[in-house]
Amino acid sequence: MNKELMEALDILEKEKNISKDTLLGAIEQSLIQACKNHFGKADNVHVTINPETCDFSVYAEREVTEFVDDPAMEISLVDAQKINTNAEIGDMIKVEIHSKEFGRIATQNAKNVILQKIREEERKVLYDQYYGMEKEVVTGIVQRVMGKNVSINLGKADGILSENEQVKGEEFEPTERIKVYILEVKDTPKGPRILLSRTHPGLVKRLFESEVAEVKDGTVEIKSIAREAGSRTKIAVWSNDPDVDPVGACVGMNGARVNSIVEELRGEKIDIINWDENPAILIENALSPAKVIAVMADPDEKTALVVVPDYQLSLAIGKEGQNARLAARLTGFKIDIKSETQARESGDLYDYDEEDEYYDEEESEDSDAAESEEITEEAETEEIFADDLTEE
């Protein structure tokens, strides 16, 4: 049993997460390469490795000939009979090759083959590991600031937080721990290139999933998110359980759950609203905290006219139009907001008195005829009573 080789493979398998079979395959290729460097060719070289004991043997199949022209491919009858006494001209003989016979250059090349294979497998393992973490949130440590980009250590690899994916105003210090969203993982010859983000709406969604148990188990579903990183986020939630309040679950006791997310996002405001299949109700909720008088939505055109009280117009639109803009992204509707006065002047809003009756000429004539018939019947009844009294 080759204990040293086995121990080395076990250590590599544990530390690098590279399978032992892959490492044994690399050793096999390195031995074949060493034979090629030593003999000039290795077409007839075979390597066998026992995966249980890590014992290996190298041999070359050579043809028994009377005169040897190519020592790498042929063997003389005398030498062949030393290995097998029954050998004859034309037979194929397995000749064992001892790795100790390889020269320094051949040994060095074999070593390079093994190291190259280990590096390739290590890159592949890292890529597969982080590729499976795409669209997830991880905690990283700020390594260094490279110009306008920031290098974040994610454990076994470093990720890049580019300027476009940074929240304006955020500053990072070396060794600071931050949560980042893995935007994309690319495979390169130097290893996986991991692109990170602090502005993606998915960051907010994953933070809610990690903080709110109801969101993680699917009881509360996040239907839509609209975000302006560093300023405000609107999130629409829906409960699959009628006994669970989706907004309350996300807010938590005394706002504990949402506050921890706000703290992670460094003070970014978060509005949590109820999702509704009715676009008018959804738009009304999305414009919160502004009050709404009426919503006229066109689901086909994806447009909506919203009427708000005069004193609520600026609140509905928000600073620099932010509230209306986020509501439009959240609902997918193009929203036009008007004050009550503007809507009345343009004819988009009118008063409707429920006590007013709908007038129809035919119905009026029928009612008049019915009334005249009732009067006639009453008159006839009175005449009959009058005749009876006269006779008495």
pLDDT tens, residue by residue, 277-335: 999 999 999 999 999 999 999 999 999 999 999 999 999 999 999 999 999 999 999 99
Q: Which is it for strands 177-188 and 220-228: parallel, antiparallel or unpaired?
A: unpaired
Strand order in the sheet with 232-239: 220-228, 232-239, 269-274
Mean pLDDT of 241-261: 94
Distance CA 198, CA 178 (A): 9
Strand (E) or helix (H) holding 308: strand 303-308
pLDDT digits (tens, 9 = 90+) for 65-110: 888 888 888 888 888 888 888 888 888 888 888 777 677 777 787 7
For 205-239, give the secondary structure using H, E and C.
HHHHHHHCHHHHCCCEEEEEEEEECCCEEEEEEEE
User: pTM to 2 decimals?
Assistant: 0.71
Do the Cβ atoms of 285 and 279 come closer than 8 Å? no
- What are the φ and ψ backbone dihedral angles of 192, each rounded to 5 degrees? -65, 135
Position 351 scores a pLDDT of 55
- 125-136 average pLDDT score: 92
Supply angle C-alpha 352, 358, 361, rounded to 5.
Answer: 150
Identify which has the larger pLDDT, 269 or 61. 269
